[in-house]
A and B are shown apart, each in its own frame.
Chain A
Amino acid sequence: MLRETHVNALILLALLAVPLGALVLDQPFIITLATKVTILALAGVGLNLALGQGGLVSFGHAIFFGLGGYSMGILASHAQSFTPLMEVPFVIPGTNLMPVIWIVAIAVSCLAALVVGALSLRTSGVYFIMVTLAFGQMFYYFAISWPAYGGEDGLSIYVRNQFPGLNTLVPIQFFGLCFAVLCAVLFLVSRLNKSAFGLALTGAHYSPVRAMSVGIEVTRLRLVAFVISGGITGLAGALFADLNRFVSPTMFSWHTSGEIIIFIILGGVARLCGPIAGAAAYIILEQYLGGFSEYWQIYLGLILLFVVLFAQGGLIGSLSKREIVRG
């Protein structure tokens, strides 16, 4: 069996190689698909911190994905229409600068995760799933009934936002940007997982009482993980909205939360690059099985059943041993 670090390196290399090959072969659609995989994987990396390390099965992570998307949509739409976001008590203009949008998306998502987490972490197990799902549906229906920003029809952004020094309208450049963000987040999450915080989170996942008896404040630990997780998923939402140049209430729907969970299960729960493998597998299945049948999700369901019953480590777990933190 391979070491997980080697499998992770291979996955990242493959994710980089595919769009570069597509560039050579002049297949921009493949580059866009690889960008989609990268962004959805980023959302999965965010949820994996809460679900994989912390054991928090959140069915409401679409909230943060949607908030990231709407942060981008609202700021960019105001920038495009040259109208300020707010005039009283002070003027807040819109912006089409990605770094600013990302900061806003992360801040808004973290704040929402703090509120949702503080309330939902009072429960556990199936009740936690239900509370996060309920919060997700609240945001979904709020977005539907918010006509100022498109309501049910969503909000279109006509030009992709800008990043200094890059032409984000060129697919390979936008992919490169998303890939760099994913690598940076993977590095941060990897450091976090190996820290005392990450190990305590993993320990508390399997035995909260044992964790408490060594002085670990389990609820606060989980809340911090939930907030970081929400921030990462929010960043993914902002990038996803920029990829499609469109945001809609669908980003908040429970289907989106479910899809992010599927990426993690397919790729490997609590595996650093599991969400990348999972998102890639999902998009490949969607593209190729979708060509045979519009009911392609039946096959996805069968694959998920197989993974849950026979390969619980997902794609990464089947190929590698768990990575050990060394002292």
Chain B
Amino acid sequence: MSALLELRGITASYGVSQALFGVDLSIGEGELVALMGRNGMGKSTTIKVICRLLKNQAGTVAFAGQDLTRLPAHRAARLGLGLVPEGRRCFSNLTVWENLYASARPGPWTRARIHDLFPRLEERSDQLAGSLSGGEQQMLAIGRALMTNPKLLILDEATEGLAPVVRREIWAAIGALKQQSGLSILVVDKTLSELRQIADHATVLERGKSVWHGRLDDLTPELKDTYLGI
């Protein structure tokens, strides 16, 4: 399977504080890959580097055969990176419909398909995004990313802080996306039970470095304890 996204030896810093010390990551076409690790291990920083919201100091980021390292964030997004940022960051001053419309680019993902995936967004179409519940904002954030018709959907802590019933809904939607759309998906999360069911493989980060790659079924209890604190 050819790699859609390939990170090799990524290092990155916030000012003088180095956050990544050598991250390798590979995602193939149609794969769902989990990026795991405890808090502060560099998962969100890796996402920022992929989306060009943070420049890497060393290493390469290749996406769909193109080197992203010199591209600004908007150009990288237009190549097909759809980011669902941590903290359900929608355009809170726009309505649900406006959020979807403002991000739309041509492709198979339309508003009707988003409404099929998250029927609640259709009911809330005229509501300001800032007034939605946490779960609805997350659905909107995913819908907005899909409206850009990405090749790779990146979900950064998509279920964090949500009620269990909403988490199940989001996981079901991610599973449906993988099954039905053939979209490549990168999920940053700590929920091993759900990821085990849907992820093709995983990469674990420890202190800004990728330390384990493989199928989640192969993650031993010792490794879980060492790297994930579970």
Contacts and interface: CB of A to CB of B under 8 A. Distances in A.
Interface of A: 196, 199-200, 202-203, 205-207, 209-218, 324-327
A326 B89 contact: no
A244 to B, nearest CB: 38
B97 A218 contact: no
A324 B126 contact: yes
Contacts of A216: 74, 102-103
B74 A218 contact: yes
Contacts of A217: 72, 74-75
B93 A213 contact: no
B74 A210 contact: no
Contact of B102 (A200, A209, A324, A326): A200
Interface residues of B, number: 32
A324 B95 contact: yes
A217 B144 CA distance: 16
A325 B74 contact: no
Contacts of B101: 196, 199, 325, 327
B25 to A, nearest CB: 18
6 contacts: A199-B91, A203-B91, A203-B93, A210-B90, A213-B83, A326-B126
A212 B104 CA distance: 13
| Residue among B51, B73, B78, B93 with most chain A CB within 10 A | B73
Contacts of B75: 217
B93 A206 contact: yes
Contacts of A212: 53, 72-74, 77
B178 interface: no
B204 interface: no
A213 B78 CA distance: 9
Nearest to B141: A210
A213 B77 contact: yes
B148 A214 contact: yes
Contact of A206 (B74, B78, B92): B92
A269 to B, nearest CB: 12
B102 A196 contact: yes
A211 B51 CA distance: 12
A202 B129 CA distance: 13
B37 interface: no
Contacts of A205: 93
